[in-house]
Amino acid sequence: MLALLLVMPVVHGAPDTQTLTGEFFWSGRGASGELEAVFTSTGEQTWDVSFHFEFRGRPHVYTGTAEGSLSQGELRGKVKNENKGRTFLFSGTVKDGKFQGTHAETEGGREQSTGTLTLNG
């Protein structure tokens, strides 16, 4: 009698992560720059997100969460700056893998538009 033992490998690794690149425009300061957004899946169309960019010659990483599609449909989220003192909302639409949207800072429960951003897969 021949016994066959099947061993299924356990795969450890990074969760589903997608990196998009693009550009931001800051309307209040008239500044723009390159933007990298890293989306890590936390469930069905829910994400942890980090925005990597330079502003006034200094690197920044704003982190938070997002929900929506990265391929087609609405996408929105909230991120905070490094010391968690400022909160920004972003929202827009993804069409054919390209995101076009706006960002706004929230303070005292009110939103103030701060500009636009675009991202591509």
Provide DSSP, 45-71.
Answer: TEEEEEEEEEETTEEEEEEEEEEE-SS
pLDDT value of residue 112: 95
Percent of the chain scoring above 70 in pLDDT:
88
Q: Identify the DSSP state of 15.
A: -
Convert the pLDDT of each residue in 24-65 to its tens digit. 999 987 789 999 999 999 999 999 999 999 988 999 999 999
pLDDT value of residue 15: 63
pLDDT value of residue 2: 35
Convert the pLDDT of each residue in 69-118 to its tens digit. 999 999 999 999 999 999 999 999 999 989 999 999 998 889 999 999 99
pLDDT value of residue 14: 53
Residue ranges covered by each domain of the chain: 17-120
CATH number of 17-120: 2.40.128.120
